[in-house]
Amino acid sequence: MPSLSGREVGHIGYGTMRMTWVPQPPSHEQCFETLNTALKLGANFWNAGELYGTPDYNSCHLLNKYFIKYPENADKVVLSIKGGTKRGELIPDSSEANIRRSVEECLRVLDGKKVIDIFQCARQDPNVPVEQQVTVLAQFVKEGKIRSIGLSEVDADTIRRAHKVHPIAAVEVELSLFDTTILNNGVAKVCAELNIPVIAYSPLGFGVLAGAFTSPSEIPEGDFRKIMPKFQENAMKENMKLVNEVKKLAARKGVAPVQIALAWILTLSGKPGMPTIIPIPGGTTVDKVTQNLECVPCLSDAEMNEIADLLDRIQVVGARF
């Protein structure tokens, strides 16, 4: 079993973003049932964020209510929270004052119902050296207010610099069949070298590998995916070629495409030269989470080679989010 912040976690985690960061969030009842299912199926690492929603309703508010109802689950869950943006805005602000505001606000909303196992700034502030950011967070670790420090969307050099200041518990970056950037830019390599687990967000390509939509017109109004370069009309036509090939492989194997996408990541995890990788698919219903967390067998060498050939042959069009 992989471990995060000194705790054992499942091979697949759970991303809570779409429970609060959508135009019409699901009901608490639906969210609670889904969270209980994730935990029951072994996904005890939960990824949340102060920025997933508004200052008045985000992941922390939802989790406060969840752990009030299910206090027995608090110690079972390893919780990572992203913050460090300006209050109510998606703008990085790693000034000491704002990091302190962000951590204290998350703690205030959680109200002692759940410990923050990992806290990380959602994006790097170009005006603040990572060393300064980590030094501030290290003080919170020393004070016992958070258990460990993570990084999110960083390059290899930033990881090295941060790790020299304080041990880094995890690095959260995008990784999926739709985006393999970290396999080629040194991030996976340095995480393996420093024994830092990678948290792979959007492992299902923001839902496209799960069949959530096949054209831009199917993306709901107000959904942030509506503006993503990869899901614009011309790009989407090209990118569906890869999705369709994954569907064919899934059909031959007798599984769902999401299970191929997740199995690909799990097969990469821990291979020579690769770090431990924990994908964090979301899903806001019991059925979706169950499908994501059903036994996903690792892929054979032949299947991994087939996918590698696909990725070489079919280039995903559109810049990263």
In this structure, which amino acid lies at residue 178?
F
Single out the catalytic residue among 52, 57, 66, 70: 52
DSSP string, 21-82: SSSSPPPHHHHHHHHHHHHHTT--EEEEETTSSBTTBSHHHHHHHHHHH-GGGGGG-EEEEE
Question: Whole-angstrom Cα distance, residue 169 to residue 313?
Answer: 35
Residue 57 bears catalytic tag:
no
Q: How far is CA 73 from CA 4, 5, 46, in A?
A: 17, 17, 12
Q: Name the token pair of 295.
A: 């036994």
Distances (CA, A) of 93 to 86, 97, 129, 150: 6, 9, 11, 16
Report the alpha-carbon distance of residue 70 to residue 121 in Å, rounded: 28
Catalytic residues: 52
